[in-house]
C-alpha cells in the first residue's frame, strides 16, 4: 500500500515504533544528567592575512556535547606559526558559561596554520580548525548552517535564540531557519499551513532581517516546502530579499508538486529583481524520498542538493561504503534515482551543501546524535516541547549535523545568496571546518560558470586537490563519473600529529571524456569530478567533506 494514502495515523504509528525501538535505559539517562567535562572546541576564521587581528571562540563541551558552563580551567595557547602574536594563556571563569573569546591573535607567516590549546590540569591538547593565511584572498571561506527549525513549526526554541547561538557561540557566518510550511503527526498539516500564512512566515523573515549584519553575520529568509505526510521528499526555499519572499505551500493545488512549485517560482523570478533558490534534502530517506529520475528537475532553480545532514549522507548507498547511511525513520531507499550521484548521472548540474536539519536552537552544533540525555528543566521551560528536545532522549540513529562552506569575496546577503545560486559552496560534517581546494584544469567550484571545456575529447586534464583538516586525514578520494578514481591515502590513527592534518595530490587524466548514461535519453555530456574527504577520529563519527562536482566537456 502507498504510504501517502495512509495519512497522519500511519506517520504517528511509525514515529512511535521508532521511539519504542530506541528507548535508552533509565540508568543512562540519569548518568548523563550530571555533566562531565569532555573537550575544548576552538573556532577561528578560516581565512586571514598576515598581521590581521583575529578573534578565536573557545567552548567547553561535556560528554553529551552540551556546553559545560562550570569549566573554570586555565588553557595554554600555542600556534603553528612561530612568529604569531597571541596570549599564552586563557582562563575560564564561572560567569563565562563555558565560552570565552581570545582576541588579537595575529598570524605573520603565510600557509595553513593551527591553534593548539592545552588543558593545564590534564595536559590534553585540542586543535582548532585550519586557518589559511595569505597576503590576499580573492575569496574567503565562510561557514553556515542553513537548515533549522524553530517553535514556529516542530522545533524546540525560537529562531531568535538560535541566531544568537549560531552567531555568538558557534561563530557561524551564515544561518537560515527553514520552518515547515505544512506538517504531519506533531502538528496537523492544515493547521501548520494556516499558522505559516497567518503570520509565522512573515515573522521568520522579520527575525532574519533583524539579525542580518553586513560584514559580520548573514541570515537568509527561507522555509521548507514539506509534502506531508509521507508524500515525497522535502525542498528548502531560500530568498535573497525578505521584502519579496513569498510562501508557496505544498498543499496549494498550484504548488503541490515539485514541477508546479518551480513553475510558480519562475513566475515569481520574472516579477522581482531579487532571487530564489531551492534545495532538496535527504533524498534517499525512505519516509520522504526524492526521486531525481522521476522528476522534471530544474537545476537552475535547484542548483544544489543537501548531500549531508543529521539524517546522514545521500551521496551513495551504505552498502557501497557510505559511513553515514540514512538510518533515521525508515532508513535509506535501496534503489537508484534517490542519491546525489544519480542526479549527476542523469546530467543535472547540482552542487552539494551540508545542513543540520536540527529542530532546536543550536545552529552549527546539533545534539541528537550524542549519548541519550534529558534536557535540563531550563531547556524544557525556555525552548518548549519540540523535536530538538524530544530526540535528545532517544538514540535516533542520527548523526552530527552538516555545515556549508561559502566561497565568497565578502559577507553580505546578496553575495552569500549568489554563492548558493552559482554552486560556490561545499559540504562538511559538524563541527569540522575542513578546507578543501579542488581544481580541474585550474578551475574550482567557485570559478566554473557551467563546465570546463577541453578542445578534444582525449585532451589531457590536470586534476589537483589539497586538504587541511580538523583531525588527521584518513583518505582524500577523487570521484570521477561516480566511481572512485584517485585516492590520497592518509592515516587512520586519530592521535597522529599535525603533519597528518593536511594532504594533497595531483594527477593527469589522459582518458578520453566518456560521460555517463542513465538511459537512452538521459545522461551527461561530459565527465563529472568530485572529492570526498574522510578524517580519522577516536570518536564515533569521522569528519567528512564533499566538494564539487566540476564538469568537463569537449568544446
pLDDT tens-digit map of 225-243: 998 666 778 999 999 999 9
Q: Count the Cβ atoms, other than its own, within 10 Å of residue 196.
A: 23
pLDDT value of residue 531: 98
The reply to whether domains 140-429 and 438-554 share a CATH topology is no
pLDDT value of residue 30: 85
| H and E: helices and strands count for the chain | 10, 29
Task: Identify the CA nearest to 237 among candidates 190, 178, 309.
Answer: 178
Dist CA 503 CA 475 (whole Å):
9
Q: Which residues, given as ranges, of the chain have pLDDT below 70?
A: 1-21, 185, 228-230
Dist CA 442 CA 446 (whole Å):
11
Percent of the chain with pLDDT strictly greater than 90: 81
| First CA to last CA distance, the chain | 49
pLDDT value of residue 94: 84
Dist CA 325 CA 338 (whole Å):
13
Q: For residues 410 and 215, is the Cβ–Cβ distance under 8 A?
A: yes
Cell of 278: 531551492
pTM of the model: 0.95
pLDDT value of residue 449: 84
The 3-class secondary structure across 392-440, one letter per residue, is HHCCCCCCCCEEEEEEECCCCHHHHHHHHHCCCEEEEECCCCCEEEEEE
pLDDT value of residue 2: 42
pLDDT value of residue 15: 61
Domain formed by 140-429, architecture: Alpha-Beta Barrel (3.20)
CATH number belonging to domain 37-133: 2.60.40.10
The 3-class secondary structure across 252-304, one letter per residue, is CCCCCCHHHHHHHHHHHHHHCCCCEEEEEECCCECCCCCCHHHCCCCCCCCCE
Dist CA 255 CA 173 (whole Å):
32
Per the prediction, the chain carries an average pLDDT of 93
pLDDT value of residue 385: 86
Dist CA 81 CA 112 (whole Å):
9
CATH number belonging to domain 438-554: 2.60.40.10
Dist CA 499 CA 484 (whole Å):
25
pLDDT value of residue 396: 77
Cell of 369: 546524535
For the chain, the domains span 37-133, 140-429, 438-554
**Pairing label, strands 74-79, 174-175:** unpaired
Amino acid at each position: 500500500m502507498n504510504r501517502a494514502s495512509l495519512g497522519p495515523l500511519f506517520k504517528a504509528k511509525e514515529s512511535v515504533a521508532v521511539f519504542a525501538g530506541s528507548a535508552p535505559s533509565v540508568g543512562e539517562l540519569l548518568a548523563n544528567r550530571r555533566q562531565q567535562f569532555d573537550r575544548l572546541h576552538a573556532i577561528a576564521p578560516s581565512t586571514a592575512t598576515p598581521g590581521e587581528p583575529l578573534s578565536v571562540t573557545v567552548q567547553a563541551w561535556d560528554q553529551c556535547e552540551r556546553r559545560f558552563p562550570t569549566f573554570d580551567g586555565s588553557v595554554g595557547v600555542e600556534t603553528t606559526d612561530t612568529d604569531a602574536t597571541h596570549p599564552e594563556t586563557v582562563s575560564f571563569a564561572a560567569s563565562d558559561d563555558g565560552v570565552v573569546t581570545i582576541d588579537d591573535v595575529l598570524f605573520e607567516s603565510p600557509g595553513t596554520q593551527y591553534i593548539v590549546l592545552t588543558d593545564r590540569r590534564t595536559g590534553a591538547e585540542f586543535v582548532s580548525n585550519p586557518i589559511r593565511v595569505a597576503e590576499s584572498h580573492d575569496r574567503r571561506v565562510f561557514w553556515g548552517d542553513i537548515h533549522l527549525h524553530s517553535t514556529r513549526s516542530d522545533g524546540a526554541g525560537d529562531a531568535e535564540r538560535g541566531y544568537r547561538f549560531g552567531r555568538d557561540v558557534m561563530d557561524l557566518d551564515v544561518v537560515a531557519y527553514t520552518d515547515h510550511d505544512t506538517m504531519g503527526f506533531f502538528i496537523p498539516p492544515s493547521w501548520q499551513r494556516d499558522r505559516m500564512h497567518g503570520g509565522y512566515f512573515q515573522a521568520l523573515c522579520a527575525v532574519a532581517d533583524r539579525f542580518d549584519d553586513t560584514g559580520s553575520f548573514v541570515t537568509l529568509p527561507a522555509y521548507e516546502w514539506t509534502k506531508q505526510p509521507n508524500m515525497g521528499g522535502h525542498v528548502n526555499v531560500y530568498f535573497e530579499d525578505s521584502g519579496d519572499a513569498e510562501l508557496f505551500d505544498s498543499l496549494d493545488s498550484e504548488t503541490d508538486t515539485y514541477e508546479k512549485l518551480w513553475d510558480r517560482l519562475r513566475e515569481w523570478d520574472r516579477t522581482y529583481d531579487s532571487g530564489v533558490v531551492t534545495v532538496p534534502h535527504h533524498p534517499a530517506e525512505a519516509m520522504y524520498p526524492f526521486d531525481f529520475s522521476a522528476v522534471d528537475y530544474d537545476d537552475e532553480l535547484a542548483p544544489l542538493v543537501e548531500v549531508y545532514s543529521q539524517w546522514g549522507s545521500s551521496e551513495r548507498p551504505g552498502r557501497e561504503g557510505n559511513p553515514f547511511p540514512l538510518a533515521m525513520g525508515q532508513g535509506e531507499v535501496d534503489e537508484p534515482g534517490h542519491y546525489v550521484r544519480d542526479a549527476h548521472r542523469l546530467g543535472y548540474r547540482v552542487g552539494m551543501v551540508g545542513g543540520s536539519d536540527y529542530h532546536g536552537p543550536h545552529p552549527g552544533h546539533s545534539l541528537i546524535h550524542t549519548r541519550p540525555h534529558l534536557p535540563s528543566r531550563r531547556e524544557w521551560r525556555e525552548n518548549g516541547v519540540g523535536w530538538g528536545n524530544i530526540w535528545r532522549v532517544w538514540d535516533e540513529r542520527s548523526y552530527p549535523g552538516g555545515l556549508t562552506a561559502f566561497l565568497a569575496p565578502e559577507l553580505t546577503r546578496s553575495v552569500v545568496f549568489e554563492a548558493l545560486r552559482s554552486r560556490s559552496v561545499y559540504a562538511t560534517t559538524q563541527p569540522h571546518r575542513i578546507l578543501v581546494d579542488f581544481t580541474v584544469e585550474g578551475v574550482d567550484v567557485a570559478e566554473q560558470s557551467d563546465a570546463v571545456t577541453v578542445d578534444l575529447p582525449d585532451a589531457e586534464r590536470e586534476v589537483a586537490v589539497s586538504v587541511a583538516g580538523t583531525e588527521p586525514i584518513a583518505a582524500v578520494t577523487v570521484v570521477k563519473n561516480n566511481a572512485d578514481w584517485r585516492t590520497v591515502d592518509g592515516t587512520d590513527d586519530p592521535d597522529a600529529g599535525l603533519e597528518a592534518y593536511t594532504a594533497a595530490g595531483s594527477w593527469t587524466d589522459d582518458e578520453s571524456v566518456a560521460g555517463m548514461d542513465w538511459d537512452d535519453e538521459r545522461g551527461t555530456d561530459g565527465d563529472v569530478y568530485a572529492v570526498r574527504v574522510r578524517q580519522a577520529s577516536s570518536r564515533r563519527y569521522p569528519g567528512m567533506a564533499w566538494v564539487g562536482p566540476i564538469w568537463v566537456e569537449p568544446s
